[in-house]
Structure 1
Amino acid sequence: MPTAVKQEKEDNAIKRSNSSLNFKKLVPKVLRSSSMKNPFKSKKPRTPLDVVRETRALLVYLDSGEDAANPKHDEKLELLDADIRELKSILYGIDESEPVPEACAQLTQEFFKEDTMRLLINCLPKLNFEARKDASRVIANLQRQPVQSRLIASDYLEANLDIMDQLIAGYEDPVVALHYGGMLRECIRHQVVARYVLKPEHVKKFFDYIQLPNFDVASDAAATFKELMTRHKSTVAEFLAENYTWFFAEFNSKLLESTNYMTRRHAVKLLGDILLDRSNAGSMIRYVSSKDNMRVLMNLLRESHKSIQIDAFHVFKLFVANQNKPADIVNILCANRTKLLRFLTGFNMDKEDEMFEADKAQVMKEIMELEPTTSFSCSGELFKPISV
């Protein structure tokens, strides 16, 4: 090899060596760690199991109550927010991409393997508003996620029904009321949960929650109450049969006779849904055999709000259609015959409705054909119609 070429190679080798030495001197040691060997190497994607496990660990930390003294509290909270957001993305998909069933099943199984749901509910007040919304959506979605054709959320909740106590009581805290309410409605999808919530000590709370001064919270409570009283028909029928007396006494006095328009409106619509359901036929017959109940409905017919009048009519017609009307109800209808017929003649829907007109015609026919009993007294006159 020529001497000039050999010398040039040796000079280049020295330059490379010096360059390496200079780099080591100038670059901090932390940047020369093993993790920086390939800065362009992609990070291994996390599995749904990884996300759930990290979420659970962060929730355990947050639930421990040690957060105030931890200097990394904000960092952990941000990480938890990101994890909850990622859980939502897996379950709902991102943008236009559909969720992957296998990933959803893995996530669901891991989520209910331990007490992650309870932890998330406990920690909800400590999360920011967006994270609370995401957490609520995650829990709602998980109630509907099948794992090998089985809703394992139902099994988990059956073993942890006391969680429902916390969700119900959430209506007393405006910060979490709407979030807890939404989760509670989704949990009521499971019959085992509905049966637990349909206990007197729980149901009685809803009569108060529906009348809360906060309109949004009261409306949400009314939506949950409707879901509870209409979804699982056999369970509701059993509850009404066992609790008929106190339930309808409170329903009438606290809801149908409430001074709040929206409370009355929701209540009379729900009453119709309950009584017109065939599963509740026994309770319906008992309800329409009471003159006190009929008095409440006749007063609702006199409402100035058309929507309440129409829903009240659909319940009132059951009293008239009852083929075994008690004598006191027959007498009251007879005593109010003229006023009722005059009212019904001018009572029309805003839009033409053939079924409504047929029902109204049948009610008027029944009232016209009634004969008072021997104990008939004009003291039965109750109906004082207003203009319609």
Structure 2
Amino acid sequence: MGTVVAPACFSTPMMMMGFFKSKPRTRTPVELIHHLRHLLPYTTPNPALPKTKRSYHKICEVGKVIVEIRRVLYGDDRLEPSEEACVKLAQEFFKQDTCHMLIAFLPNFDPGTRQDVTHVIANLHRQRVNGQYLASQYLERNTPLLAMLLPGCDNSELALSYGAILRECIRHQVAAKYILESDHFKIFFKYIQDPSFDIASDATATFRDLLTRHKSTVAEFLSKNYDWFFLEYNSLLESPNYISRRNAIMLLGAMLLDRSNVSVMVRYVCSLDNMRILMNLLRDSNKTIQLEAFHVFKLFPANQRKPQEIVNVLIANRVKLIRFFSDFTFEKADEQFESDKAQVVKEIAALELKVQPCSALKQCKQIAC
């Protein structure tokens, strides 16, 4: 009987050991966070030197760890996420300053890793432990983190990541309140008119969340900051940029028509300057802006305590306004729109003129449609 020769692939004990090598041990949630914290400082290259192989290797390793963390939080094709693992991961992530570190080192990563980081942070901000959001408690102790995120919204390369993370933070009332009450909020009036479409659109999404998500906080903010806020906001409504005007009028309607902002709405519709802006928007060349402007304009004639100067202007423009609304229609106009339009016409037609000084008459003519 001839000697049996082993296949070439099993010709040495070393190669056989390699064939039967066990898979690497899966890290626990706590180990993943500790490993991530260890790696992050090494991802920053020395600015005086070209990017080294060591820093490149560390950045790649961070990317792998982030993917592993994402798999724990979201699961994969084979396994559903474990609630216990997600809780442990969230507890360890918010225990120290891992969130702050991860955001600080975000510019060092490639776009794909930044996107994974965004998904990981989004999930962790929504994790509840014993009915409470750990992220909310963390942000209450670390509000400077929010100030660190805001400048990133002005970077065309990073705006999408920073903006998405900031909106996740804003889900928590403590974060939204901090931004609204800080000087940082005013910078959004600049960002939403940025020439870069990515920066402007992302800032607009964050701006809208800040002013609509937490009703009581927004109502308090608008009441306390009415004068300067609407002075800035009206400049958006009169912006030469079509997108800025459209976004501004849509958000204005959402704010004023919200029940929590009734007192702010009443104050807004008692201003002749505000009505003048809305009357101009009714004549905008864009149909969407016209329709959104109508939903706000209808509040002025519907106000049962209209200042006399507003009554006088509506009367001075009565014929033109009624003629305008008779032709004011849209392809997808519904019964509610037609009903609202009829009510506006009825309110304007029923107005009575009172004796007024010559200066007021002059003003009426200047605002005429």
**TM-score, L = length of structure 1:** 0.87
Aligned position for 1:363: 344
- The structural deviation recorded for 1:122 is 0.6
AA aligned opposite 2:149: L
How far apart, in 2, do the equivalents of 1:264 and 1:52 lie?
45
Identity within the alignment, %: 51
Within-5 A mapping of 1:329-344? 329-344=310-325
> 1:335–1:378: 8 Å Cα contact kept in structure 2?
no
1:205 maps onto 2:187 in alignment: yes
Q: 1:349 aligns with which of 330, 347, 353?
A: 330
For residues 76-123 of structure 1, give each alpha carbon's deviation from its aligned partner in whole angstroms, at most 9, with x where no partner exists: 111101111111121122137432211111111111111111111111
Residue 7 of structure 2 corresponds to none
After superposition, what is the alpha-carbon deviation per residue over 1:247-275, rounded to whole angstroms, capped at 9, x for unaligned? Answer: 0000001x101111000000000001111
Letter in 2 for 1:361: A
Aligned to 2:152: 170
Given the alignment, which residue of 231, 247, 258 partners 1:266? 247
SS in structure 2 at match of 1:42: coil
Do residues 380 (structure 1) and 360 (structure 2) align? no
Unmatched 5+ residue regions in structure 2?
1-10
Note if contact 1:63-1:122 (Cα within 8 Å) is conserved in structure 2: no
Which deviates further from its counterpart, 172-181 or 38-47?
38-47
**Number of paired residues?**
356
Aligned in 2, Cα 1:98/1:346: closer, same or farther, shift over 3 Å?
A: farther
1:119 and 2:98 are equivalent in the alignment: no
One of 34, 40, 48 as aligned partner of 1:53: 34
State the SS of the aligned residue for 1:381. Answer: helix
Q: Write the letter of the residue equivalent to 2:354.
A: T
Amino acid paired to 2:347: E
Shift of 1:42: 3.5
User: 1:237 corresponds to which residue?
Assistant: 219
Q: 1:314 aligns with which of 286, 295, 298?
A: 295
Alpha-carbon distance between aligned partners in 2 of 1:96 and 1:280, rounded to the nearest angstrom: 48
Tell me the residue number matched to 1:5.
Answer: none
Measured after TM superposition, the shift of residue 381 of structure 1 is: 3.1
The verdict on how the C-alpha distance between 1:53 and 1:82 changes in structure 2, with shifts beyond 3 A counting, is same
User: Is 2:312 the counterpart of 1:328?
Assistant: no
Whole-angstrom CA distance in 2 between matches of 1:23 and 1:299: 86
| Equivalent pair of 2:140/2:175 in contact (CA under 8 Å) | yes
Q: Deviations over 1:215-254 (max 9, x none)?
A: 121011001000000000110111111100000000001x
CA distance in structure 2 between the partners assigned to 1:248 and 1:356 by the alignment: 27
2:86 is aligned to 104
Please name the residue that 1:186 is paired with: 168
Query: Contact 2:143–2:178 at 8 Å: present in 1 too?
Result: yes
User: Deviation string for 1:290-344 (max 9, x for gaps)?
Assistant: 0001001111001010000000000001111100000100000000001111111
| TM-score normalised by length of structure 2 | 0.91
How far apart are the structure 2 equivalents of 1:157 and 1:374? 58
Please state whether the residue corresponding to 1:72 is helix, strand or coil: helix
CA RMSD between the two structures: 2.3
> CA separation in 1, counterparts of 2:31 and 2:136?
24
- Structure 1 unmatched ranges of 5 or more: 1-21
Alignment-mate amino acid for residue 126 of structure 1: N
The AA in structure 2 aligned to 1:78 is C
Q: Counterpart in 2 of 1:129?
A: 111
Residue 290 (str. 1) matches residue 271 (str. 2): yes
CA distance in 1, matches of 2:352, 2:142: 57
Rounded to whole Å, the distance in 1 between the matches of 2:361 and 2:87 is 68
1:226 corresponds to which residue?
A: 208
Distance (whole Å) between structure 2 residues aligned to residue 219 and residue 71 of structure 1: 37
Aligned pair partner of 2:178 in 167, 185, 196: 196
> Does structure 2 conserve the Cα–Cα contact (< 8 Å) formed by 1:55 and 1:83?
yes
Q: Residue type of the partner of 1:52?
A: I
